[in-house]
Amino acid sequence: MKNLLLLSLGLTVLICTGFQSQSPVNTKPVSQMIKAGKFTEAESLIKSLAKKSNLSASSVRQLDSLKDQIHRIRRDFTLTKLQVREQLSKYYPNLTEGQLSAWEKSKKLEVRLIDNQKRYFSSAVSNLFLLDKEAQKVREQKDSSSVDSLTIFKISHTSSIVKETQYPGQLTEPREMILNFTLTVKPDVVRAGQTIRCWLPFPREDMPRQTDVQMLGCNHSKYIIAPKDIAQRTIYMEQTAQTGQPAIFNVRFKIKSHAQYFNLDPKDIKPYDTTSELYRTNTSERAPQIVFSKRIRDLSNAIVGEEKNPLIKTQKIYTWINDHITWASALEYSIVPCIPEYVLDNKHGDCGMQTLLFMTMARYQGIPARWQTGWMLHPTGISLHDWSEVYFEGIGWVPLDQSFNLQNSNIPGVRNFYITGIDSYRLIINKDYGQKLYPPKTFPRSEPVDFQRGEVEGPEGNLYFDKWSWKMNIEYLNSKN
C-alpha cells in the first residue's frame, strides 16, 4: 500500500535477570480470593508473591493479569446500595429491602460482594427496567412514553429490502458512508517520551456486503493496515507521549455497505459435507467461549427436538433466544469466564453475548456458525455491534443478527428478517473472535473477545478503557439516508 511505512513496533520484552533459578508461583489462592470477593486480601497476596526473587516470567505475567482482573471488576461494579436506592427513588420512593433482595436473587439487579460490601453493576438500574416487567410498568407510569425510533427505522428499511430482493442473497440497498473514528488517550497515563501503541478498527475488504473501501486520511504519517485476511482488522499507529497532552489517533475511511436477504425454503438446504474443513472448523468447540456443556447440549436438544433440517433448527434456536433472553447492557467480556453460560445463568446479555450463545447451540446441532462484528451505523442508532453468519450447504454463508430479534410485523419476511438477513447499515471489522491483532500486541488486551473500540498500550502495560475514550462520526452520502 502506498505510503505504508514499517514502524518501529517498540515491543517490550520482559527480561528476568540475576535469578539463579526460576519457578512457577501458585496463583490458585489468589483466583479463589477474587472469586470470593476478597479483593484486598488478593491484592495483598499478589504483592507478597511478586516480591519473591525466583519468579519465572510467566508467573510475573500471571500475577499482573490477576491484579488487572481485580481492577476491571471494580470498574464494572461501581455502585453502592445507597447509589442504587437514589437512582430508583423516583420510581420506588418507599423501596424495601425485600424488593432489593428479590431483584438481586433473580439476578435482575446485578451485584457482587467485594470486600464484604455489596457493589452493583454500573448499569444495574437501567438493566432492571429491561429485565423486570413490573419495574417496566412502574417506569412507564412515571415517565412519558417515547417512540423507539430505531425499531421504526429498522422495520421500514427491512420492508424495503424484502420487496427489492429478487433472489436469495441479492445485494441491495447500498449505502455509502464516510466514517471518522478517533481514539484519545488521556494525558500522562504514559510517561513523557515513551511510545504509545494504538490499534484502531479498519473495514474488511474480503466480505461481499462491504465494498469500495477507501482510506481517506490518518493523523499519523506512519501506519500499518492489517492484511485483508487478518481476522480482526486494524490500522496501527504510534505516538510519543508528551507531558500534559492527550495522545490522539484518528482515521477516516469510506465504505459502501449492502443489505442482503435470503428468503429460504427448508427444501433449498442440501446435506452438509461433514468432512470439509469449513464444516469441521465452524461446528467445533473453542473454549472458553464455545463449550458444549451438558446444559448447552440438553437445552439445544430440547429446543430443536427431532428436527433435522438446518434452516428450521436455526429458526428454532433463534426464536428461543428471542423469547427467553433479554437484551441488557453487559459486563466487559474480559471478566466473564464463559459468556454463553453467563447468559443462561442471568437470562440476559448484549448483542455479542446473545450471538455467542446462538453460535454455541448452533454448532452443537451441527450447523456451521461464525462470528461477524463491527458497528451498527443506523442514522437513529450508532453503536458497537455483534452478529453472526450461518452456513447452509448449497446456499453459502447467511447473515443472522440474534439481538435484533423478531420484528413486530405481520409480514413473515419482515418479522423474521434478521434470521436470514442483514440491513445496509453495518461496518464489518471482524470475521472471528479472540484473534491476534496485527502487528501483535505485547500486553493482554482490554477486550480479548471482540475488537471495535480499539486497543492501546505503553511500554509498561496495557491501557484499559478508563485510560482513553473513542468517538465515531458518520457522514451519509446516499440520498435515502
What DSSP state is assigned to residue 232? B
DSSP result, 55-105: B-HHHHHHHHHHHHHHHHHHHH--B-HHHHHHHHTTT-TT--HHHHHHHHH
Total number of domains constituting the chain:
2
Q: Rounded to whole angstroms, how far apart are CA atoms 320 and 307?
A: 15
Contact 279, 322 (CB under 8 A): no
Q: What is the CATH number of the domain that holds 205?
A: 3.10.620.30
Peptide bond into 288 cis (omega under 30): yes
Residue entry with cell 454455541: 360
360 inside domain: yes
User: 52 versus 204: which is more confidently predicted?
Assistant: 204
User: Does residue 78 carry a pLDDT above 50?
Assistant: yes
Q: Rounded to whole angstroms, how far apart are CA atoms 39 and 57?
A: 24
157 and 246 in a common domain: yes
Q: Predicted confidence band at 317 (pLDDT cuts at 50, 70, 90)?
A: very high
Of the chain, the percentage scoring pLDDT greater than 90 comes to: 91
Out of 56-65, 82-91, 309-318, 329-338, pick the least confident: 56-65
Q: What are phi and psi of 425, to 5 degrees?
A: -105, 70
Q: Predicted confidence band at 12 (pLDDT cuts at 50, 70, 90)?
A: very low
Please tell me the predicted confidence (pLDDT) of residue 21. Answer: 52
Contact 450, 386 (CB under 8 A): yes
Mapped onto helix, strand or coil, the DSSP state of residue 259 is strand
Q: Rounded to whole angstroms, how far apart are CA atoms 453 and 332?
A: 12
Please tell me the predicted confidence (pLDDT) of residue 3. Answer: 44
Where are the strands (E) in 393-454, listed by range? 396-400, 421-422, 426-430
Residue ending a domain, among 142, 164, 179, is 142
| Per-residue exposure over 245-272, b if at least 16 CB sit within 10 Å of its own CB, e if not | eebebbbbbbbbbbbbbbbbeeeebeeb
413 and 450 in a common domain: yes
45 inside domain: no
* Domain boundaries, position 114: 81-142
419 and 271 in a common domain: yes
60 inside domain: no
Residue entry with cell 482482573: 69
Q: What integer best gives the mean pLDDT of the chain?
A: 94
Q: Rounded to whole angstroms, how far apart are CA atoms 434 and 447?
A: 9
Q: How far is CA 374 from the centre of its chain?
A: 9
The string of pLDDT tens digits covering residues 381-401 is 999 999 999 999 999 999 999
Mapped onto helix, strand or coil, the DSSP state of residue 241 is coil
57 inside domain: no
185 and 315 in a common domain: yes
103 and 214 in a common domain: no
The string of pLDDT tens digits covering residues 441-455 is 999 999 999 999 999
Residue ending a domain, among 142, 171, 189, is 142
73 inside domain: no
For residue 212, the tally of other CB atoms under 10 A from its CB is 12
Closest CA to 463 of 130, 187, 207, 218: 187
Q: What is the mean pLDDT of residues 16-20?
A: 38
What DSSP state is assigned to residue 137? H
The string of pLDDT tens digits covering residues 262-296 is 999 999 999 999 999 999 999 999 999 999 999 99
317 and 391 in a common domain: yes
15 inside domain: no
Q: Predicted confidence band at 22 (pLDDT cuts at 50, 70, 90)?
A: low
Q: Predicted confidence band at 184 (pLDDT cuts at 50, 70, 90)?
A: very high
The string of pLDDT tens digits covering residues 210-234 is 999 999 999 999 999 999 999 999 9
User: Does residue 4 carry a pLDDT above 90?
Assistant: no
470 and 408 in a common domain: yes
303 and 214 in a common domain: yes
213 and 98 in a common domain: no
This prediction's pTM? 0.93
Residue 211, classified by CB atoms within 10 Å of its CB into exposed (0-12), middle (13-18) or buried (19+), is middle
Please tell me the predicted confidence (pLDDT) of residue 146. Answer: 74
Q: Rounded to whole angstroms, how far apart are CA atoms 125 and 133?
A: 14
Give the chain's length: 481
158 and 181 in a common domain: yes
User: Does residue 435 carry a pLDDT above 60?
Assistant: yes
205 and 122 in a common domain: no
Sign for the CA dihedral angle at 59, 64, 67, 68 comes to: negative
218 and 93 in a common domain: no
9 inside domain: no
39 inside domain: no
